[in-house]
Amino acid sequence: MQKLRNSPFFTSKRTHLIFLILFPIFICGMTELGQMQSFGELLNFTFTRFGIMVFSTLLITAIFWFANFLVKRAWIGGVITAVLFYAFSCIEYYKYFISGAHFLFSDLAMTKNVADLTQFARLHFNPLLLLSLFLIAVYIVCLWLCDVRIERKFPVRGAISVLIGFITTVSLTVPALFAPVCTVFGIDNTYSYNAFSDEKRFANNNLITNFAVSINQQIASKVEEPQNYSEELVNSMLTDPDAEPVSEGNLVKPNIIFIMSESFGDFRQLEGMDVPKGTYDKLDEIKQEAFSGQAIVPTFGGNTVRTEFELMFGLPVKSLNNATIPHSLLPANVEQDTFAQMYKKEGYNTTYLHPFSSSFYGREEVYSEYGFDRLMFIDDLTVPVQKLRDYVDDDTVYRQSEQIMAETEGPDYIHITTMQNHQPYGSDDDTEVGLYLKGVKKSCEELQEFLNRLKESKEPTIVFFMGDHFPFFSPDSNIYADLGITADNCEILYSQTYLIWNNYGLTDEGLPAEDVSAFYLPHIIYRQASLPANEFTETILNVMKDEPVYSVASPKENNSQLLDTLTYDRTIGMGYSDEEVVNPFSRNIEK
């Protein structure tokens, strides 16, 4: 190898120049080929969207030379660059194959949950990705044989590296600078709020450029402090409770059980969908005994924590610029103004129950500030565990909640986030959709059995049930495309059936007759339980009368200063609207 390294070809400066110039072009091609899986499509995209490929190549060039000046040797800089972009290609390919969603900058927040994410994956051998890896390795060996070094002392190299990094970072993250870049290279920089609009944007940009766009939009969507934000402004927005206080002697405090069912959706809503007979029979039977309606959830196919946030806080994710992980915006080590806190104040035992890893989405760390007396994850279950495919089934979770209620004195507030119907749905015996609907049928049956057992309980109980989002399927299934659902008409996939059931004779009086955003529902349940009224809940319920749907999923373009201000105040701001906050400044100390 040393003899080859010293040969005229690899010691030629012309050879060095060619290898250095072609390297970013080569890596760009290998990165896009790995996720596109077609030489023909890659060539067609290159010719039809040449500006995009130029931008992607320039971005790789910047990263390559940033690394070169930092480490001195070009082959090491090449390894760093190649590993980064090859990883991007693999992540995009497998993520899209499993979930139908593209790789975005916001996904990097989940890097510490890699071990949990592998449980969702069904990785398979891919010859084209292996070929790309081999070709990249060959190119790196060629760079090593060239042995190109930057003969400058580290302070000079470091300064140039920092300058390259600064220019690249500023160009990508500052909207005012990135906009003209998009114009020059023909980049699609339209805002994406769901998988369908992102699919449309991805088709125009491909992986590298689309990822760069997602960086810019993540920065641009930072939640800003509302104009004239102050304690006086917040107080002026709050509604004094007009409900007559319930005397303590007449107050019945029911157990409150929130069931957020993983990926549960009623596919009968989708026109043209052929649903096997009997799939939702038990759900329909439950509807005869409960109040049912349609809620607009803030997510589709993933990001369960968005719907979870709305049900726990009673606030819209839209007011946080549709944050992918809303709780990532919260100040650390600060008790949050959640419904768990509200119920705890009224003497409830509060439990969060989720039969999966405690570290996924950082739930154990974050939710410990939500006012729950107890957080229960898969390792904390104390009842016999049954599974459907790879996940704990709904029946196990329901029996765990029954055990909790039996062991505690006084009323319980239990928030359940199930796992039974989580993707992937791959099977050799059935289609993805078929396997999913079998799980949904089982969920309906287990919910009915749970409610039947609660009928025998002497403890008054209100049960709320709703799916967090419709499921993703792999591109091979293509069910939504077959039904004609696109970015222009996908609102139906954000509409979830919800149920409000009780075992002690409550009526449906005061429950909404129209579709409402999911974040209103915890306020509705709180009032349904006849608990003492408070300014926050009364204010939100008053807003619901005029603004029943407030969501990025809605085609209606509306903005609510009141909802945006209250959401900011109770999550990121000073907490002026929380009656329990004596020193609002203490909320922001950790910031």
Domain match, 90 and 152 both: yes
Helix%, strand%, coil% for the chain, nearest 5: 55, 10, 35
345 contacts 370 by C-beta, under 8 angstroms: no
Domain match, 208 and 67 both: yes
Domain match, 212 and 334 both: no
Domain match, 105 and 246 both: no
Q: What is the pLDDT of residue 185?
A: 95
Cis before 24 (ω within 30): no
Q: Is residue 208 part of a domain?
A: yes
Domain match, 288 and 414 both: yes
Structural domain that includes position 291? 231-588
Which residue(s) pair with 291 in the sheet? 500
Domain match, 450 and 573 both: yes
Torsion of CA 156, 162, 166, 172, to 10 degrees: 120
Cβ-based neighbour number of residue 191 at 10 Å: 14
Residue 577 amino acid letter: S
pLDDT in tens, the chain (591 residues): 777 888 888 889 999 999 999 999 999 999 999 999 899 999 999 999 999 999 999 999 999 999 999 999 999 999 999 999 999 999 998 888 777 778 888 777 666 655 555 555 555 668 899 999 999 999 999 999 999 999 889 899 999 999 999 999 999 999 889 999 999 999 999 887 777 888 889 999 999 999 999 998 888 778 889 999 999 999 999 987 765 544 454 578 999 999 999 999 999 999 989 999 999 999 999 999 999 999 999 998 888 999 999 999 999 999 998 888 889 888 888 889 999 999 999 999 999 999 999 988 889 999 999 999 999 999 999 999 999 988 999 999 999 999 999 999 999 999 999 999 998 887 667 788 999 999 999 999 999 999 999 999 989 999 999 999 999 887 777 788 889 988 888 889 999 999 999 999 888 887 888 999 999 999 999 999 988 888 999 999 999 999 999 988 776 677 889 999 999 999 999 989 886 643 444 454 444
Q: Which of 220, 243, 275 is the last residue of a domain?
A: 220
Number of structural domains found in the chain: 2
Domain match, 382 and 251 both: yes
Q: Which of 220, 246, 262 is the last residue of a domain?
A: 220
Task: Quote the CA–CA distance of 21 and 128 in Å, as a whole number.
Answer: 24
Domain match, 195 and 65 both: yes
Q: Is residue 504 part of a domain?
A: yes
Domain match, 584 and 508 both: yes
Q: Which of 170, 195, 220 is the last residue of a domain?
A: 220
Q: Is residue 568 part of a domain?
A: yes
Q: Is residue 226 part of a domain?
A: no
Buried b (16+ CB within 10 A) or exposed e, 506-516: beeeebbeeeb
Q: What is the pLDDT of residue 521?
A: 96
Which residues are within 8 A (CB) of 305 and not within 5 positions of it... i.e. 6 or more apart? Answer: 325, 326, 327, 361
CA 212 from chain centre, in angstroms, equals: 19
Domain match, 166 and 300 both: no
User: Domain containing 313 — which CATH number?
Assistant: 3.40.720.10
Q: Is residue 225 part of a domain?
A: no
Domain match, 371 and 288 both: yes
Q: Is residue 180 part of a domain?
A: yes
Domain match, 259 and 111 both: no
Q: Is residue 305 part of a domain?
A: yes
* Prediction pTM value: 0.87
